[in-house]
Amino acid sequence: MNLFCARSGSQFTPKWWGIKPHLSVPLLGLVFYSIPAKSIEMEHLKPTLSYTDSQDSLIMVTGRVTGSLIHDKGLAGVNVAVDGEKTRTQTDGEGLFTIRISKNGILIFSYVGHQTQSIPVEGRKSLVVNLQTSQSSLDEVVVVGYGTQKKASLTSSIATVSGEDLENRAVPSVINILQGQAGGLNIQQTDGNPGYGSTSIDIRGNSTLSNNPVLYIVDGIAVNSINYLNPNDIASVSVLKDASATAIYGARASGGVLLVTTKKGKKNSKPNVQYSTMVGVQRPARLPKFVEAPQFVDLYNQAQLNDNPGAQVKFNPELAAKYKSGELPSTNWVPYILDNQAIQNQHNLSVSGGTDNVDYFVSGGYLNQGGLIKNVNYKRYNTRANVNVQVSRRLKLGINTVLTKEDKKQPSYGIGNALQWSYIVPVTEYPYTKAGNDRSYRGGAQPNDIMTKGGISNENLNTINTNFLAEFKIFDHLILNGMYGYNYTNSFTSSFYSKHALYNDDEQIVAYVNNPNSVEKANYAQSHPTGIITLNYNQSFGDHAIKALLGYSQESDRYDYNYISRYGFLNNSLDQVDAGSPDHWL
């Protein structure tokens, strides 16, 4: 017996007359065929190959999605996804959708307040789907301005992201985790510098001529940013989109509101200890490819001659021969700026629980995010305590406090200059002379100098956010709430610009960078106290309910900034202001 094999699932499938599979190995994707030795006659048994196009099994499915509460009217914004794949779409304003899927695939339909449905396509090219209302979903409570409300009674445009959705994503920034989690929430990360990354965010686009930013509310208190938060401490995020939802916060909420609610303990529950850790590796998703020096010199010379046939080329035959022989190096500047990978690790520990009169949630977290760019690093330490005490039948007190410390490190000149120069400096240049000295490029610095010799900037950022809560039940349906919040942020930045020499190929100093050397130190402090008093009335009458709120809030903001610089240090190891030159003309 003779055996031969073919790979199963490939585009080319062998067909042999009168021969059956002998052994199949799915994990390896192989199928073995047996042929009796006496039946082998190569001149008669001619194999044929049939080509199967995987696209033939895909069909375009169109359809319409309706809801049980809105008869014969399409549901807009329904998520339509292919089971087990990343292909997905949404229904338009009339509930119509179009999606490409295999003939035997399964479509999953999901929509807020409705039951998720899985429908096999079974070769059909047209579908009509009716989503049934989910009573449990309608009974869910959504955090809105100065209170909560059931989904069933919502008339405003509000989207909610649960804490579980945030915890399952290995992203250290709260803003970036929210990307793609709610319709109308547009988040764009413009750079990936750890700790300094710039992220633009808007809700339903720019809604005002003055381009008001999104308003952040954390546990009822307005804050300038939510980057200091640990995603593992968040219970839910509500996105208030339209005017009816944001009006209670006034004109400053015209750009939309993000309401963040942090986790709390549960009464009459045993202590629940949770620990989570995440270790990951970051790699560049895509890097440019540069031509080597031998090809570069030919292309450069040709470009000069194309522009002026009588021009004297930059790379004469003798110099070009040195690059082509390897006597002179070909330099890819990107590895001098970027590391091949960066390690990121995160650890979180929390304890929650409660008794008859007390509930608590205490947590601590640590994040260390390395940068792909050299000399870039970000560390974050955070601790939180949310405690509520039922003092009496009518009085309840609580405190929510978080302390975050962030340490940021990057080159003093920032990363933009080095990245720009890594694309501009030709591959025919090189960072070091034969003696190992830093080589000059056109009398100035090159990317390697900027990243490794230009100096380091360190920033220490501390944030304290504390809310004191009081709730007094005047009557069963009338409750008086008081809240005092204090948000304090302090930042100290120290940047040193190191003096270093640049050499030519003759080992002669041609320039000094950062001459004289210098130091810059900046400190700012911002405090934002807030006081809020609300009177809430909530009464139900059978299937009807009345909710009323009367409130008063007062906020103030103070910002202090100090800056100092000094030049002319004896060496690059001294970075204290007092060690600089007293000559103020430097």
Q: Read off the CATH number of the domain in which 223 is found.
A: 2.170.130.10
In a domain, 45, yes or no: yes
Q: Note the pLDDT of residue 545.
A: 83
User: What is the per-residue pLDDT across 80-116, written as a single tens digit (0 to 9) for each?
Assistant: 999 888 788 888 878 899 999 998 899 999 887 678 8
User: What is the per-residue pLDDT across 235-289, written as a single tens digit (0 to 9) for each?
Assistant: 989 888 888 778 888 888 888 889 999 999 999 999 999 999 989 888 888 888 8
Residues 253 and 340 reside in one and the same domain: no
Residues 484 and 397 reside in one and the same domain: yes
Region of 347 please: left (phi>0), alpha (psi -120 to 50) or beta. Answer: beta
Mean pLDDT across 349-371: 95
In a domain, 281, yes or no: no
* Domain finish residue from 218, 241, 262: 262
* Domain finish residue from 136, 158, 186: 136
Residues 44 and 187 reside in one and the same domain: no
Q: Note the pLDDT of residue 547.
A: 87
- Cβ-count burial of 138 within 10 angstroms (0-12 exposed, 13-18 middle, 19+ buried)? middle
Residues 436 and 571 reside in one and the same domain: yes
Mean pLDDT, the chain, as a whole number? Answer: 83
In a domain, 287, yes or no: no
* Domain finish residue from 331, 351, 380: 331
Residues 365 and 314 reside in one and the same domain: no
In a domain, 278, yes or no: no
Distance CA 586, CA 577 (A): 14
In a domain, 239, yes or no: yes
If one counts the domains in the chain, the total is 5
Q: Which residue has the higher pLDDT, 386 or 71?
A: 386
Residues 200 and 301 reside in one and the same domain: no
Residues 473 and 574 reside in one and the same domain: yes
Output the CA angle 315-508-457, nearest 5 degrees: 95
Domain that holds residue 147: 141-262
Range with top average pLDDT, 189-198, 262-271, 536-545:
262-271
Would you say residue 478 has pLDDT above 90? yes
In a domain, 586, yes or no: no
pLDDT band, very low/low/confident/very high, at 155 (cuts 50, 70, 90): low
Residues 318 and 456 reside in one and the same domain: no
Residues 29 and 94 reside in one and the same domain: no
Where do the DSSP E strands lie in 391-429?
395-411
Distance CA 427, CA 295 (A): 10
338 phi, psi to nearest 5 deg: -110, 145
Residues 251 and 393 reside in one and the same domain: no
pLDDT band, very low/low/confident/very high, at 498 (cuts 50, 70, 90): very high
Residues 380 and 498 reside in one and the same domain: yes
